Structure 1
Amino acid sequence: MKDYKNILIIKMSSLGDVIHALPTLYAVRKNWPNAHITWAIHEQFASLLPGTPWVDDVIIIDKKQLKKPAYLWQLRKELHSRHFDMTLDLQCIAKSAIVSLLSGAPEKYGYWELREGSNLVNKALVGEHKYDHVIERYLDTVRALGGDVDSIEFPMPAYVDAEKSVKEKLACHGVDEDYIVVVPGARWIIKEWPLLNFGELCIRLCESGKKVVIAGASDDAEKGAFIENYVKNKNLVNLVGSTTMPELIELIRHCEIFISADTGPLHIANAFKRPLIALFGTTSPKRTGPYGGSHVHLIISPTSKATPEQPLVDDPDCMAQIPVDAVWSVYEQVLGKEL
């Protein structure tokens, strides 16, 4: 195994994808404990990264500037000044390949699925998990470089101030320790469970005496408002669009149970091994779902045609085929395990 001293990891987006790459960061640090590790990422996802000893430095990549020659020249100067001896591109698309190319590193690698011409820059590192979960595909890069992968670990950041502020927000609504986090949104509409279903589920949860916190990005504020108005119960707290990323991390870290469809915050819950209920249909959990552990409870639409080979299926009716009763039944099972 070559002794790399200065490593650049490239994974710029999105929320779930960055978290999927964290076990590879863990493995890189364990196999090259003395290396200086830098991570290139978009600013809105930088707070997902842990600090030392996992990541020594972070480079913010402005995706809106990547087509501008002046920005590329400045980025090249900055990257070259750091003298990387290896880049590990875990995104493997055009924009990440540009960063890899500009790094000046003599060795440029990516996982096997090189897309959008990234094969012209990076060398694919292929392993036995080529068609398995994306976490294993990323980890194969470490294995191919001669490293050992003994376990799958998610080094997550901890935010003391954000933990305090989110607890204060919850306390204003009478929420103390035990609460359920529900995230109704998703990156793509076809991945979402119907809002009415979420509303009916939240009614049952609230009427059972549980405190329910709905959360998500500011883009989903209308969804949060709809559920709040539909449920009309003091046990429901609407924090959709009202948390920073560090606050969202801490909100999920301390929740009792997490419930959502295939969305970024789901992978935060998985990284913390929180008991979670994940609803899938138009995407394949075998490729990008919460990975492993008894804390994971999957509910897959009976009409789902998504597979690891076809991970996204455009079926607008698929997710609606998951009934509220099915989710409630799994919730009762999870609650029984937690009591």
Structure 2
Amino acid sequence: MTNSHTVSSPPRSLCIVRLSAIGDVTHVVPVIRTLQHYWPETALTWVVGKVEAGLVGDLPGVEVVPYEKGGGLRELRRLRSRLSDRRFDLLLQMQTALRANVAGLGVRADTRLGYDPGRSRNGHGLFVNRRIAPNPRRHVLDGLFDFLRAMGIRERDLRWEIPVPEEARAFAAEHLPGTAPVLAINPCSSVRPRNWRNWYPERYAAVADYAVREHGMQVVLTGGPSPQEQAYGQSVADAMAHQPVNLVGRTSLKQLLAVLERSRALVAPDTGPAHMGTAAGIPVIGLFGTSNPYRTGPYLSQQWAVNRYPENLARFADTSVEQAAWGQRVRHAEAMGAIEVTDVTAKLDAVMAHSGEGAVQPACGPGSSAARENE
């Protein structure tokens, strides 16, 4: 199996398999925009998770095929049946999770391009016949662009422009009327064991009250529909002196994108909606105590990140960013406690002082190549 793939001319058809999660699916969008810019005649198909298709299912010029991730062999057979009369020139297997590898079996393709061995797992190499070149210690989005580098496209079109329906914008306008600048707070990451990425409700509340008091902002709480997220959002609201607009569990993905589009800034931990904030074009104040923002942080908002990952690695794992495995997490319940309220309010002050143009910037920290758009 070769470690690279070059093309002499754009393929007639190309299929991407990237099922989840929300943040990673959001990262795929500028890759697609770049493909559309440089290979405008190539027919693009994207096999994506059914939930995630609610966000990206209407991308212009892309055939989006929703895939039920928990559907097992039944869903694989359904995918095969839908694509039974198709054979793609090129498959980009952009996810190494086992169910994504298996989903790729439903796509017939001459060339199946996957990750290099260093970024592979779950037998990924068995599902592909070409690999991209190694490019270690990079942001997840940079890793997706490595697929294009392998095909000879070195430039980047860092555009998202995910369609927002007018009814979603009307929903956002109804719940966020007036002209006060909006601060969105998405307090929770995904619900999973030993997660510990969530900051403390009372500290979110202190930041929210500061935003109202010092910047005259309207605060909106956002998040998913799980009981845990709704309870967490209510805890933040209950701890506030000022009344927020609590939309936790009350928005579709398109409505959430419209709310973020209407916001001046977003405060969030390492979670998918943080990357939706990037797609919406707003500064994201990312809270990083357990994961490395230069790997998974909001791609255009590294300057606004509150980064306590290095000190937590030293404190709880007795290692450094340079020595740790790329992507190593700090698994400790006290890690997010290293982030103080004043850390976040200082970033908010800076965001509010930073006028319009250039509010978000490419990542340029250790291990990131985001600033090099024309590599």
| Structure 2 stretches lacking a partner, 5+ long | 1-6, 314-320, 357-375
> 2 CA distance for matches of 1:338 and 1:300?
23
Q: In the alignment, which of 210, 228, 232 is matched to residue 223 of structure 1?
A: 232
1:61 aligns with 2:67: yes
> 1 CA distance for matches of 2:97 and 2:125?
9
Displacement of 1:47 in angstroms is 2.5
Contact kept in structure 2, 1:280 and 1:319, CA below 8 Å: yes
Aligned positions of 1:36-185 closer than 5 A: 36-49=43-56, 51-55=58-62, 57-66=63-72, 68=73, 70-112=74-116, 113-127=119-133, 129-171=135-177, 175-176=178-179, 178-185=181-188
1:267 aligns with 2:275: yes
> 2 CA distance for matches of 1:212 and 1:268?
18
1:214 aligned partner: 221
Displacement of 1:103 in angstroms is 0.8
2:189 aligned partner: 186
Larger deviation, residues 149-158 vs 178-187? 149-158
> 1 CA distance for matches of 2:19 and 2:107?
15
Displacement of 1:50 in angstroms is 6.1
Larger deviation, residues 155-164 vs 128-137? 128-137
1:322 aligns with 2:339: yes
Secondary structure of 2:326's aligned partner: coil
CA deviations 1:165-204 (Å, max 9, x no partner) are: 2211223xxx445211011111154111111211221222
Contact kept in structure 2, 1:180 and 1:257, CA below 8 Å: yes
> 2 CA distance for matches of 1:73 and 1:150?
35
Contact kept in structure 1, 2:283 and 2:301, CA below 8 Å: no
Contact kept in structure 1, 2:31 and 2:157, CA below 8 Å: no
> 1 CA distance for matches of 2:257 and 2:32?
19
> 2 CA distance for matches of 1:27 and 1:311?
30
Secondary structure of 1:102's aligned partner: coil
Displacement of 1:330 in angstroms is 1.7
> 2 CA distance for matches of 1:330 and 1:71?
45
1:242 aligned partner: 250
| RMSD across aligned positions (CA) | 2.1
> 2 CA distance for matches of 1:61 and 1:73?
11
Displacement of 1:278 in angstroms is 0.9
Secondary structure of 1:221's aligned partner: helix
Shift of the 71–330 alpha-carbon distance from structure 1 to 2, 3 Å rule, reads closer
Contact kept in structure 1, 2:295 and 2:327, CA below 8 Å: no
Contact kept in structure 2, 1:50 and 1:156, CA below 8 Å: no
Secondary structure of 1:29's aligned partner: helix
1:23 aligned partner: 30
Secondary structure of 2:176's aligned partner: helix
> 1 CA distance for matches of 2:196 and 2:224?
17
Q: In the alignment, which of 184, 204, 229 is matched to residue 210 of structure 2?
A: 204
Larger deviation, residues 44-53 vs 2-11? 44-53
CA deviations 1:282-309 (Å, max 9, x no partner) are: 1111111112368x40111263326661
Give the number of aligned pairs. 331
Displacement of 1:93 in angstroms is 2.1
Length-normalised TM-score, structure 2 = 0.82
Aligned positions of 1:253-264 closer than 5 A: 253-264=261-272
Aligned positions of 1:255-334 closer than 5 A: 255-292=263-300, 296-301=303-308, 303-305=311-313, 309-334=326-351
> 1 CA distance for matches of 2:233 and 2:12?
47
Shift of the 270–311 alpha-carbon distance from structure 1 to 2, 3 Å rule, reads farther
1:9 aligned partner: 16
Secondary structure of 1:51's aligned partner: coil
> 2 CA distance for matches of 1:105 and 1:127?
20
Secondary structure of 1:260's aligned partner: strand
Secondary structure of 2:95's aligned partner: coil
Runs of 4+ in 1 over 6 A off after TM superposition: none
Counterpart residue identity of residue 176, structure 2? L
Secondary structure of 2:28's aligned partner: helix
> 2 CA distance for matches of 1:83 and 1:162?
36
Counterpart residue identity of residue 321, structure 1? A
Displacement of 1:250 in angstroms is 0.6
Displacement of 1:260 in angstroms is 1.1
> 1 CA distance for matches of 2:233 and 2:241?
12
Contact kept in structure 1, 2:180 and 2:217, CA below 8 Å: no
Displacement of 1:84 in angstroms is 1.9
2:371 aligned partner: none
Identity %: 25
> 1 CA distance for matches of 2:59 and 2:53?
14
